[in-house]
Amino acid sequence: MILREVPKTKPAFVEGIRRAPKREANLSKKDIELALRNALRYVPKEYHEELAGEFLEELMIRGRIYGYRFRPEGRIYGRPIDEYEGKCIEGKALQVMIDNNLDFETALYPYELVTYGETGQVCQNWMQYRLIKKYLQELTDTQTLVVESGHPLGLFHSPKSAPRVIITNGLMVGEADDLENFKRFAAIGVANYGQMTAGGWMYIGPQGIVHGTYSTLLNAARMLRKGQNDMQYMLFVSSGLGGMSGAQGKAAKIANGVAIVAEVDASRIETRLKQGWIDEVVESKEEAFSKAHFYQENKTPRAIAYHGNIVDLLEYALEKDITIDILSDQTSCHEVYEGGYTPQGISFEQRTRLLKEDRTTFKNLVNTSLKAHFKAIKKLHDKGTYFFDYGNSFMKAVFDSGVKEISKNGKDDKEGFIFPSYVEDILGPHLFDYGYGPFRWVCLSGKQEDLDKTDHAAMECIDKDRRYQDYDNWKWIKDAKENKLVVGTKARILYQDAFGRMKIGLKFNEMVRNGEIGPVIMGRDHHDVSGTDSPFRETSNIKDGSQFMADMATQCFAGNAARGMSMIALHNGGGVGIGKAINGGFGLVLDGSKRVDDILYQAMLWDVMGGVARRSWAGNPHSIETASEYNELMKETDSITMPYLADEEMIHQLVERSINDD
């Protein structure tokens, strides 16, 4: 399949829509020529001379070739599935999801195909977008579309039991697997940063992270104050109100806390205020803390946006001896020198100008700011504040800026950092080790009543009295509509374990079969029990040394292909940056068929329990319990290898004696 038509004019850019900063690309003359040749492959030859200059201008000004001329006019958004052309339901469903990823309401930089996380793209350029949409319109239930770093390689015949779409993003050979090489590969048009659900086409707006943030804050509060069921108006301070970080204020409020979230970009604050994800905006540090104190005293959950730099806010708290209970950061530190972190002392507009005109100065300012940021956090921590790294590569960025003190061994990052990751201390032992993780669904009809029915059905599938985790999730889904979480398509996020996900999926498919609701696509965030190998995030509570191994995510991806998921994805980088994670996800279209019932039974348990088995083998106590229970329940068909745990003190003493004898 090829593109035969070239739009005569470029579509107009809508005023006020955020635009990506210029991307760094130190290209040679040969690289620039290569980038142009690669982009022109999508265009009929008679247009090459006309478009070559246009593409060159984009590359020089934007640092990438986006092919703006090929972007459809106006707003792109996830429409009801019946409004899409297609020869199979999966082809139409995935068009809904792609367009939702690029909606002005959900995407960070929609004109540059960036969904969230500063650089996470659906695909590299608008020629790829158009071609992917054409393929999905032609896709049948005996074909598979293969997409490699945004490029649709083609349709290949396959059995009905195979995935309809297989996606990979940014998978580089180890020798070249670093950020500098990736920037070059992206600029010449051969690599795409899929983030997690951007290039995996399953983004559902910031709702996708609200539940995880809610669970993190809830369990952090319980850990800090024994016997407490929620935050009880504790003060949470953080930074970032973008695609992922925008969830922070909302999550704290649902968890019954008071939040101050710093953000330097006024447009992101405006978006969250308009959506109701924050309650008010303040311009001064004094007002931020005085208002927070007022809401704490009056026992009123509240989400406050501070328009300013987080380092200024923390230094003010130290100066005025203000108590902060819980502290984090969720700026895009995996792209710390690409605009993901705005340094102290400059405005957001100055940051954008420096990215374009003076990268060296910008990088120096970032390093200086990160050092000041760390210093403020350390002082607050010493006074009793609980700080956790929220998986955005913040601690690694601080380490890379020259602060060796942040590493546990004071010299490298191999043993981790002095502050815990949120997975290491909270989500890992409290949720992932049991198999609880964030799966999601989208009602493809676009109808609110379908979402209401699925919310109710999911709630009925949860035994709220089994564990506190089940009660938390039951309460979450019970209150979901009231909390107004939807941005974009009619979607929902919910944490459940292996059997819980399977049970809910089977119930939804039955409802589709009975005509109670329209078709549903079910998936999960790559940030989950089995989907991601990331040593400082998802696998940070794995202590047997295997946290750097990428076998789990790869096996999860392959296993889901074998079991017939509708769409599967595997990416490099995720939320922490190139070379720091391998992550994968899936999408499964529930069409009411018996075939989908079988996939749910075969795939949902595998998708979760592969990760529980890995965590059990590492010696995590709750995973050992969960794997043992699974072995008993599934003894006729499945068997997880269980560990014999060595006595740590015995090993320690043996090694000590051996070393001393030498």
Measured at the CA of 638, the angle between CA 634 and CA 642, to 5 degrees, comes to 100
Q: What is the DSSP string of 465-477?
A: TS-HHHHHHHHHH
pLDDT (average), residues 7-11 = 91
Question: pLDDT at position 167, please?
Answer: 98
pLDDT (average), residues 136-151 = 98
Question: pLDDT at position 451, please?
Answer: 98
Q: Which amino acid is residue 130, in one-letter code?
A: R
The answer to whether residue 661 scores a pLDDT higher than 80 is no
The answer to whether residue 408 scores a pLDDT higher than 90 is no
Q: What is the DSSP string of 561-582?
A: HHTT-SEEEEEE-TTT-TTS-E
Nearest CA-CA partner of 586 in 503, 526, 519, 527: 526
User: β-strands 280-282, 302-307: how paired?
Assistant: parallel
Question: pLDDT at position 259, please?
Answer: 97
**pLDDT (tens digit per residue) in 612-651:** 999 999 999 999 999 999 999 999 999 999 999 999 999 9
pLDDT (average), residues 582-609 = 97
Question: pLDDT at position 208, please?
Answer: 80
Average pLDDT over the chain, rounded to an integer: 95
Would you give the distance in Å from CA 298 to the centre of its chain? 35
**pLDDT (tens digit per residue) in 460-499:** 999 999 999 999 999 999 999 999 999 899 999 999 999 9
Question: pLDDT at position 159, please?
Answer: 97
Query: Which residues in 109-149 belong to E strands, given as ranges?
Result: 114-116, 120-121, 143-148
CB-based burial label for 515 (10 Å; 0-12, 13-18, 19+)? exposed
Least confident of 12-26, 164-178, 490-504, 613-627: 12-26
Least confident of 230-244, 439-453, 560-574: 230-244
Nearest CA-CA partner of 153 in 41, 34, 35, 36: 41
HEC readout, 17-63: CCCCCCCCCCCCHHHHHHHHHHHHCCCCHHHHHHHHHHHHHHHHHHC
Nearest CA-CA partner of 302 in 242, 243, 237: 237
The answer to whether residue 662 scores a pLDDT higher than 70 is no
DSSP-assigned beta bridge partners for residue 302:
258
Question: pLDDT at position 61, please?
Answer: 94
What is the pTM assigned to this prediction? Answer: 0.91
The answer to whether residue 420 scores a pLDDT higher than 90 is no
The answer to whether residue 256 scores a pLDDT higher than 80 is yes
**pLDDT (tens digit per residue) in 292-343:** 999 999 999 999 999 999 999 999 999 999 999 999 999 988 889 989 999 9
Q: Which residue has the higher pLDDT, 611 or 540?
A: 611
CA 262 to CA 462: how far, in whole Å? 36
